[in-house]
Structure 1
């Protein structure tokens, strides 16, 4: 029988665990709170547009609803992917603490309750902070992004208490719900984790995940088929949704895709190339749960702008081939409105997962130094690990963009356009990939330098 199953810890101890662990592992929880705040800022844009459409009503309100729908769907996809990755990593990275709790008499049910309470508190604090930050900014921002949309420039925009409260509730609920599976796993943590490696276990493709994959694949098939029957002047709407949903499908299939793909392409560079590359490759391949938490948001970050530019470029080329005149490119405000917020959230989420894993990385670096590795090897290994994550996500995201562009090239012909080569979206993919790599390095290198200032014995003795 596992420790802690026969007795229940007193409530006072549980309250101390909730607060004490938040303070003891502040890096992990601050990272989760920052991501929740970023999700609230992004959600405030959708909330502002939705509340404005409802209050305005009439023709202008109806004209705003299609824009609101696209923004809500794109924001929802990015929010679900990023928050679920962060919530899962937040819980699973603290397995040693959960094992200790059970050894001191905390029952599995109480472990689960404490974990969910911690997620709830951090998500609520982050969401409230994000909404407070967004209040003075969201209306001017929405007015700017709508300034180039015909008929929407004069729509009165509002972001009232109801919309703000809804954003806080949604973000908090998504974070807490995303952590329920990990909380159940935490309640079953064995004390054996205290004497062996505590790398979070990779997510398995259980029945719920398979059901989600089948459902999402069905929605994608219906969406693609409907795009082929949509008039050319309206085909952009279903095609714009194809890329985000396809990226969500890839992330949902992450346990089947991320680790095998990472191991496959990193074998191209021999392990003997350098000690730092060997360490980075081994760390990325071994820490599959941490790698998946970073790769998922980055895939979305690369796929969203890339697929948007690929779809619009393909449709413009089809219209130009049919009419002999290439339509003007959408203004930058349109791209910012549709993918700016989700892109920001995805990149911040990816960087946050790297930052949150810093404690495990410090221990690994200390082990390398204890075995005779120099500071340069440790630092360069951290850089290579960021490069591995960025390349893995960029390749998968570029694959999503390529498939989306192919779907767009197929759909424009039955929709009434002329045949056209699919646009690549390579520029958007490249810019996003570089930005993601820079943020990963910004989250990794400073923390590695700080860790190198501590002796290996001290780093290994602190849990």
Structure 2
């Protein structure tokens, strides 16, 4: 069993390195939060209370983001292995053995990524504190603490989150019929599980309770509640994504003015067909856009208006946004072998280099545009709800949203185009024969 786990990790190194990288980024974010809490405990007093308050907000943002992004990435890693799992079943492994192997692989990547992330966070903590608290006299001279106990807690958090996020994928790997997995490059997306329905219902009720509690609330408390709308809505969309994602991709890409070139149709079919990959790209982008937009929209309800400093934004959202954008980008890196095969098939079908590159760029545009279609209504609703509840002019934070969208488009396009260009340089016959 150990030889099987390690052999598959080596054979599919690109996929598992991507999963480990996301685990490492999640550990960096967790280390910052853990350091805030430990430092607050040590310094005490007013400074400690301030750090506790800040860390509470960061914990919520980071926890929701970690669960959503790590869940998407780990499920994608399992989905990209469907053919391998089918072969394992054909040579005699039972469903429970397959599930145990998958969980062992996920746990190993979580431990490696968690340890690497904590090691990377240690030299970053002091300059990060200095930058974020430069304008806060009580906090700018504090030396952040990060003990071995905190390191263990962060690694344990990453491990539990990865295993929980990948549990659905592990079940799919064990349950899918071997012949079906061998026929399809990616297993068909299943419907909603009971866990997803319960999670979606819980998040919806929390959102409703937040909106109901806003009228008559103090501006500071209302602003804090409004900040939560973005990440909670992104979590809700993630939970319900099997219901609407493929249909949304197919329908909005079909309503553009006709006639459209062939590369656009290639892009929209690829985005809709690879449901696991598309969801793993889009949902983290929705999280990033929602976080930034709702933060600025909520701040418009507070006394003094939009007063966030750059350090404050980095402290509150730097980690979650980094995790979200990294997750979306790494998804395309993980699916590189799948891209190799698609490019080879297009070449033998008569496709040109220009057509392939245009299709890949269009696919990136589809991902980012879909994320905008899902996230911007949440940002607008946050501004309007805040204005309604507190009787103030609405603020939407569209400038910050535009910045994140442009950055997302650049990252996703680069992450999609580079593997395609590398695939164009490979031997087509060998690539197809390997499949």
Offset at residue 328 of structure 1 (A): 6.1
Aligned length: 435
The corresponding residue for 1:205 is 192
- Say if 2:316 is the partner of 1:338: yes
Selected match of 1:434 from 406, 413, 424: 406
Q: Distance in 2 between matches of 1:340 and 1:135?
A: 16
Deviates more, 1:213-222 or 1:229-238: 229-238
- Say if 2:400 is the partner of 1:392: no
Superposed, 1:254-333 pairs within 5 Å as 254-269=241-256, 272-313=259-300, 315-316=301-302, 319=303, 326-327=304-305, 329-333=307-311
Q: Is the 8 A contact 2:296 2:306 kept in 1?
A: no
The corresponding residue for 1:377 is 355
Shift of the 211–134 alpha-carbon distance from structure 1 to 2, 3 Å rule, reads same
Q: CA RMSD in A?
A: 1.7
Deviates more, 1:208-217 or 1:243-252: 243-252
Note the residue ranges of structure 2 that are not aligned, 5 or more in a row. none
Shift of the 299–327 alpha-carbon distance from structure 1 to 2, 3 Å rule, reads closer
Match of 1:253, SS state, is: helix
Q: Is the 8 A contact 1:82 1:345 kept in 2?
A: yes
- Say if 2:424 is the partner of 1:452: yes
Superposed, 1:101-180 pairs within 5 Å as 101-149=88-136, 151-180=138-167
Selected match of 1:185 from 172, 179, 204: 172
Q: Distance in 1 between matches of 2:335 and 2:51?
A: 41
Segments ≥4 residues shifted beyond 6 Å: none
Shift of the 270–103 alpha-carbon distance from structure 1 to 2, 3 Å rule, reads farther
Q: Is the 8 A contact 1:139 1:158 kept in 2?
A: no
Superposed, 1:48-63 pairs within 5 Å as 48-63=35-50
Offset at residue 32 of structure 1 (A): 0.6
Q: Distance in 2 between matches of 1:55 and 1:200?
A: 51
Q: Is the 8 A contact 1:74 1:244 kept in 2?
A: yes
Offset at residue 410 of structure 1 (A): 2.1
Shift of the 435–210 alpha-carbon distance from structure 1 to 2, 3 Å rule, reads same
TM-score (norm 2): 0.96
Q: Is the 8 A contact 1:111 1:187 kept in 2?
A: yes
Selected match of 2:72 from 85, 100, 114: 85
Q: Is the 8 A contact 1:143 1:153 kept in 2?
A: yes
Offset at residue 454 of structure 1 (A): 1.7
Please give the per-residue CA displacement for 1:337-357, whole angstroms capped at 9, x wherever unaligned.
Answer: 111110010000001111111
- Say if 2:23 is the partner of 1:36: yes
- Say if 2:4 is the partner of 1:26: no
Deviates more, 1:79-88 or 1:424-433: 424-433
Please give the per-residue CA displacement for 1:362-412, whole angstroms capped at 9, x wherever unaligned.
Answer: 212211111111122112111110110011011211111111112211222
The corresponding residue for 1:415 is none
Match of 2:384, SS state, is: helix
Note the residue ranges of structure 1 that are not aligned, 5 or more in a row. 1-13, 320-325, 413-418
Q: Is the 8 A contact 2:386 2:392 kept in 1?
A: no
Q: Is the 8 A contact 1:200 1:289 kept in 2?
A: no
Match of 1:420, SS state, is: coil
Q: Distance in 2 between matches of 1:123 and 1:328?
A: 38
Shift of the 378–47 alpha-carbon distance from structure 1 to 2, 3 Å rule, reads same
Please give the per-residue CA displacement for 1:297-326, whole angstroms capped at 9, x wherever unaligned.
Answer: 11001111111111112x15xx4xxxxxx5
Q: Distance in 1 between matches of 2:216 and 2:237?
A: 26
Selected match of 1:220 from 195, 203, 207: 207
Q: Distance in 1 between matches of 2:282 and 2:77?
A: 15
